Amino acid sequence: MSDFLTDEKVVSESFYDPSEDDNKYVVIPKGDYNAHVDSLELKENIVVRSKFLADIFQPIFKIATGDFKGRKIKSKGFFRFKSPDKSKYPDLSTNMGSNKGYMTLVEVLGISVNKKEVDGKTLYDLPFVTSYEMEGRPATVRVDHDLWTNNSGEEITTPKVVNVFKWEDGKRDVADLPF
């Protein structure tokens, strides 16, 4: 009978040799990259600054070209401010003037925004866009760096998408879509 504590398969030596590591992590440099929406993280009904109600859309983009092709990068988030239900949120106000970032995201991704006239003003009806509607859509993303300190006191650099622009020649990537 074999004793599992002395069995050669369990007690064999194991090391990490950094000189043999081919998967060295390189922070994606600041700059503009062509990418596709890979997935979406959504936070609903978030109270912002104790005054407003918003849904926060955080698309995760997959870089489509160049040295970082295939790498995923999360956005800082696009706020879709909405009219609060006064029965649930009596102290909150509307903040429709702050929806420009979300409107830009939706338009860049090629999702229709309807215009309508109300009291002589042009308003844009911003759709609630699902992950399925966003996935695979092309955009040129601007990457910047968030700097923060971890629990060990090390400064960490995290790349984040801070803005999106139309990728003129970009086509929707349907390879991973379930249809």
Residue matched to tokens 């859509």: 137
pLDDT of residue 178: 63
Q: Which helix (H) or strand (E) holds 31?
A: strand 31-48
Instruction: Say what the pLDDT of residue 28 is.
Output: 96
Q: Would you state the pLDDT for residue 20?
A: 74
Using pLDDT thresholds of 50, 70 and 90, give the confidence band for residue 22. Answer: low
| Among 104, 127, 108, 115, residue whose Cα is nearest residue 55 | 127
What distance in Å separates the CA atoms of residue 141 and residue 7, rounded to the nearest whole number?
Answer: 53
pLDDT interval class at 24 (50, 70, 90): low
Q: What is the mean pLDDT of residues 129-151?
A: 96
pLDDT number for residue 122: 93
Counting residues of the chain whose pLDDT is more than 90, the rounded percentage is: 81
Mean pLDDT on 140-146: 97
* DSSP 8-state assignment for residue 5: T
How sure is the predictor about 69, in pLDDT bands with cuts at 50, 70 and 90? very high
Q: What is the pLDDT of residue 76?
A: 95
pTM assigned to the model: 0.82
**Cα 53 to Cα 44: distance, rounded to the nearest angstrom:** 9
pLDDT, tens digit, 9 for 90 and up, residues 106-118 = 999 999 999 999 9
Q: What percent of the chain has pLDDT over 70?
A: 89
